[in-house]
Amino acid sequence: MAESMDIRELNVLIEQKSSFVAGLTAGMNRVIVGQKHLVDSLITGLLSDGHILLEGLPGLAKTLAIKTLAQLVDSEYSRIQFTPDLLPADVVGTMIYSQKDEKFQVKKGPVFANFVLADEINRAPAKVQSALLEAMQEHQVTIGSTTFDLPKPFLVMATQNPIEQEGTYPLPEAQVDRFMLKVVMDYPTLDEEKLIIRENLEGALPEVTPVVTADDILAAREVVRKVYIDEKIEQYIADIVFATRYPDRYGLPNLKGLITFGGSPRASISLAKASRAYAFIKHRGYVIPEDVRAVAHDVLRHRIGLSYEAEATNVTAEEIISEIINKVEVP
């Protein structure tokens, strides 16, 4: 009985704390037409303290979506345009010699912000991509011999064009694994496309004003941590991730030859955290299997290694995840 009472109290608390989600969603929808899944995913990443990788063809409003989210939260925002000649110092900062003081001074780079947009991250060479690694994982940056903490909240939102395009450096697995969610954007529907044309012909985009502060986000994250995950849901999450590693144990022997490596323990952690945040967005104090299924594709699609056989037969990570979700027993 005590537990059900706790859940009831938690639901009330979440109802109070999650009121800004509607404001964020409304703000995003004023600028971005359609793309509901993208908006949900961005807010999920924001609430579960997870970095987000957006993939889509040029012109699908990836950069605009991230910029709008950053403007809706009253916080510092910086954009780094990745190019083949970018250097790690351009991202994290460097030491500059001051003639006046006759000593080296630290000049902090654009990574020192609450929201960092790494635009076209796969256009820069590996050394620059790895400069972001320490920042993303440790929430700190080392310049010279000094280590600096990054501001809270700290969120890296990166965009990339699909790998097939010219002049791109594929992100290494270790780097991709640091992203909690990989969201793939698709073309808008016909009606959405007409609305996009109409809005753009009318002139300027609607002005975006902050609806929430950085402190509100940090407070909401504390509440998200209290969202209840039952043992059965934990088992469900572990089963889904294990099925990507050992598909034959879950009655999916046909997938064994298609997967070279499955999700790491980080995949399980991310799946649990994202499910919690998704439950919070839906104003619930507990996680249900539908929450796990809703975020599973975004959490797992970049964590499954496809074999040559899969690529030869045009099997995608999406299809594999869908097959696993349909097969693994729901609690």
Residue of 42, 17, 16 lying closest to 27 (CA atoms): 42
Residue 251 DSSP class: T
Which tens digits make up the pLDDT trace of 80-97? 999 889 998 999 998 888
Stated as kind and residue range, the H or E segment containing 176 is helix 173-177
CATH for 2-202+212-219 is: 3.40.50.300
Q: In one letter, which amino acid is 275?
A: S
How much is the pLDDT for 273? 94
How much is the pLDDT for 1? 35
Stated as kind and residue range, the H or E segment containing 39 is helix 36-47
* Cβ proximity of 77 and 208 under 8 Å: no
As a whole number of angstroms, the distance between CA 23 and CA 133 comes to 32
Q: In one letter, which amino acid is 226?
A: K
Which tens digits make up the pLDDT trace of 157-198? 888 887 666 677 888 777 788 899 999 988 888 998 888 888
Residue of 40, 16, 19 lying closest to 28 (CA atoms): 40
Q: In the numeric block, which tokens belong to residue 99?
A: 């003639």
How much is the pLDDT for 2? 43
How much is the pLDDT for 183? 92
10-residue mean pLDDT profile of the chain (331 residues): values are 63 81 86 85 90 88 85 89 90 88 87 90 85 84 88 89 73 84 89 86 81 88 90 93 90 88 91 93 90 93 90 88 89 81
pTM (2 d.p.)? 0.87
Greatest Cα-to-Cα distance within the chain, rounded to the nearest angstrom: 71
As a whole number of angstroms, the distance between CA 20 and CA 34 comes to 20
Residue ranges of domains in the chain = 2-202+212-219, 227-327
Residue 276 has phi, psi (to 5 degrees) of -60, -50
How much is the pLDDT for 189? 87
SS3 298: helix
How much is the pLDDT for 209? 87
Q: Buried b / exposed e across 36-45, counting CB within 10 Å, b at 16+?
A: eebbbbbbbb
* Cβ proximity of 153 and 46 under 8 Å: yes
CATH architecture of 227-327: Orthogonal Bundle (1.10)
Stated as kind and residue range, the H or E segment containing 272 is helix 265-281
Residue of 77, 4, 49, 32 lying closest to 273 (CA atoms): 49
